[in-house]
């Protein structure tokens, strides 16, 4: 399994030759690096679930499995019964106050929903 770790708030550089300074990474977790842990509210998990439908980008051909559990092919079912397989795309979220984008792997939903 390939490691897909980027430090939080690092300039985005996934699969590109030069970093994008106006796109920052969030939630690219791995066993190789420590990260803060805590509870996630239902509201945050619900918002991430909605973003899986509206802000999903950079769809890849393969899948990255979760490094923290034994589940394979993690599937999120939306409230409209649409199934989305996680681990193959990203969520890009524009910041409210500046020309900045936060980029997260779509597995961030699984990380939040898993508690």
Q: Where are the domains positioned within the chain?
A: 11-113
Which residue has 């509201």 as its token pair?
Answer: 43
Name 50's Cβ contacts closer than 8 Å, sequence gap at least 6: none
Distance CA 64, CA 53 (A): 19
- pLDDT score of 19 more than 80: yes
Q: What is the mean pLDDT of residues 34-43?
A: 90
Tokens of 14: 């996934």
Task: Place 90 in a pLDDT band, splitting at 50, 70 and 90.
Answer: very high
Q: Residue 42, SS3? A: helix
Tell me, what's the pLDDT at 1?
A: 55
Count the Cβ atoms, other than its own, within 10 Å of residue 15: 7
Tell me, what's the pLDDT at 98?
A: 84
- pLDDT score of 7 more than 90: yes
Q: What is the mean pLDDT of residues 50-57?
A: 92
Gyration radius from the chain CA atoms: 14
Cβ pair 27, 102 in contact under 8 A = no
Task: Place 3 in a pLDDT band, splitting at 50, 70 and 90.
Answer: low
Tell me, what's the pLDDT at 12?
A: 97
Task: Place 93 in a pLDDT band, splitting at 50, 70 and 90.
Answer: very high
Report pTM. 0.89
Count the Cβ atoms, other than its own, within 10 Å of residue 25: 22
């Amino acid at each position: 399994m390939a490691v897909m770790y980027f430090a939080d708030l690092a300039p985005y550089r996934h699969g590109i030759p030069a970093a994008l300074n106006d796109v920052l990474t969030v939630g690219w977790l791995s066993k190789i690096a420590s990260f803060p842990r805590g509870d996630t509210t239902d509201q945050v998990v619900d918002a991430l679930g909605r973003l899986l439908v509206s802000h999903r980008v950079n769809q890849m051909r393969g899948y990255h499995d979760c490094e923290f559990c034994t589940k394979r092919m993690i599937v999120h079912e939306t409230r409209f019964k649409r199934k989305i397989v996680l681990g193959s795309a990203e969520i890009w979220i524009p910041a409210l106050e500046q020309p900045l984008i936060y980029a997260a792997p779509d597995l961030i939903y699984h990380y939040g929903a898993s508690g």
